[in-house]
Amino acid sequence: MPLLFTRCFFMTKEMYEKLTLPRHIGIIMDGNGRWAKQRGLERSEGHKAGANTFRRICDYGAELGIECMTFYAFSTENWKRPVKEVEAIMNLFRDYLNEAHDREDENESKGLRIRYVGEREGLPQDIISLINTLEEGSADKKTTVNIAVNYGGRNEILHSVRKIAAQVEAGELKAEDIELKNIEDNLFTAGLPDPDLIIRPSGEYRLSNFLIWQAAYSEFWFSDILWPDFTEDDLDNAIIEYCKRNRRFGGV
């Protein structure tokens, strides 16, 4: 029985077997700057702490057997932040990609597949090269980890629509034949299930342009916890709350 449920004294094996765990969990990693400010630290220190939390929660999700996890790390709007902070975030992303490459065997044993979600244009060229190398070597694993950097939900939909428009212009597709699946097949998350559960810590109650197409029927879990303080217990609580909900998808 997964560790999640061994910590829940009321959960029997029979109860666990009846549960339907989320296949895909989206997490908005929010509150790093406030966490640092509360401690009199530079905002970059908050992002470092948040990166460590990301690693822990990523590993724990794989341990639980979650099929897919998408972490919102840096939005298309975040480029407006101070240059020093943006550079610090990009350096952390760069460090993680290098580390993931060095830990390829370890990730293999954990069944982790790393994917990038977002616009490549605008990222430093060395980061794009690291992304390409990492994605090539991490296919067909138990748990897909999407890292959303330079990502925006509206831009993602625009990206999909432009690809469909190009098909129409080339005579490969008729406008009247366009279906929802055409849009979904051209999103950055093509081939992955929509998020069943979206988690946002830090006391904010909005999506902030995260997976806005895919989140049409997602369940939400909000918390005042700042992301660097987010623990495995908090993920447990979110999943247990999700399992209590009745998902009708517009039915009765």
35 neighbors 226 (Cβ within 8 angstroms)? yes
Phi, psi of 84 (to 5 degrees): -60, -40
Residues annotated as part of the active site: 30, 78
Look up tokens 């980061």; give the residue.
Answer: 127
CB 147, CB 114: distance < 8 Å: yes
Taking the CA atoms of 162, 250, 24 and 149 in sequence, report the sign of the dihedral they define: positive
Residue type, 31: G
- Distance in angstroms (rounded) separating the CA atoms of residues 106 and 112: 9
**Percent helix, percent strand, percent coil in the chain, to nearest 5:** 50, 15, 35
**CA proximity to 218, closest of 193, 188, 184:** 193
